[in-house]
Amino acid sequence: MTEREGKSPGGWQLNCPVSVRDHAECVTLAHGEGGRLSRKLIQERILKILQPVSSQSLDDAARLPHSGQPLAMTTDSFVVTPLFFPGGDIGSLAVYGTVNDLAVSGARPRWLTLSLIIEEGLPLAVLERILESVARAAGETAVQVVAGDTKVVPRGAVDGLFINTAGVGELLEPVPAGPAQLQAGDELIVSGPLGQHGMAVMAVREELGIEPLPQSDSGSLFPAVDQLRLTLGSRIRCLRDATRGGVAAVLHEWAEASGKTLSIEERTLPVTPEVRGISELLGLDPLHIANEGTMLLAVEQGVAAEAVAQLQTIPGMERASRIGVVRERGVAPVTVQRTLGAEQPLADPLGSPLPRIC
């Protein structure tokens, strides 16, 4: 049994669903040196799996069709460990994370690049499982993988696999005005339970032995954003997926951009019993825990009830909730009315309580 198999019986890494036999075929440094093995890896392992969602071009640059609409572009890198976690893996996370950055910016995701930085020794079966996940997520979100790159680095240089993406989307009118346009009286909403992704990764990585395990909320936000755009239009001020730093980090960014105070009520925050239990056990605040399929949005005064009703019709967002309001700037940029206690400033996270979660 290899050292990596020892981390998860029958698997390669913690929570890995792929059974890897001794002497299984693995990625070697030669796969990344541009020769015959590189072409074999790309053509027989990567393009074969991505064929339904890929342009299949091996040119140095992708040629995108003229859309006639303004475009939005984003880039992101994914270094989550372990590679597989309850509710997802690094492959689907890379697609959804990129798609969500475009969606909350007011764009319909269209094209994606995919760069793989692979550690020497990664079993090819594990790589194929992750690529299958990429293909499923890209198909679900209707994005096409139009360019990519593959590098192989020596053992220990990365933790199995890192993925870098770039995403391009078409901006759809009306594009949200952005947090600088927040007004006193605007209402704040979250689209689903807080902290699901961060706690799912933490529970597996730290082997907390908790049942049932929290499930990551990793998924596409575009259907929800598009439905809100069609029904609420310009009454949406701004949206943001609450990833690293959680909802607290987004609230502080918006408070800084607008010069207002953003006030929330703890009793209105949707938190599952699993996340609440782990948070209390470890002394963490769900407001600071990362999400990957939950967003914060601000709408004009009087629109929250309609927005929440729309969100609650979407699978996975049944617990969408109005959590607070925007006020003229007071003594603190962000405040929280605790369920048992007085209103108090909400700390701006200096960093993530759990690194490598996306």
Residues of the chain with pLDDT under 70: 1-12, 56, 352
At residue 8, the pLDDT reads 55
Which of 38-41's residues contact partners 24+ apart within 8 Å by CB, and which partners?
A: 38/150, 41/150
pLDDT reported for residue 10 = 53
pLDDT at 11: 58
3-state secondary structure 83-146: CEECCEEHHHHHHHHHHHHHHCCCEEEEEEEEEEEEECCCEHHHHHHHHHHHHHHHHHHCCEEE
From the list 84, 88, 165, 75, the residue with the least C-alpha distance to 122 is 84
For residue 120, the model assigns a pLDDT of 96
Q: Is 326:179 a contact under the CB 8 Å cutoff?
A: no
Q: What is the pLDDT of residue 350?
A: 76
Any residues with CB less than 8 A from the CB of 345 and at least 6 apart, and which? 331, 332, 333, 334, 335, 336
Would you state the pLDDT for residue 2?
40
**Tell me, what's the pLDDT at 34?**
87
DSSP conformation class of 287: G
The DSSP bridge pattern shows strands 144-153 and 334-337 to be: unpaired
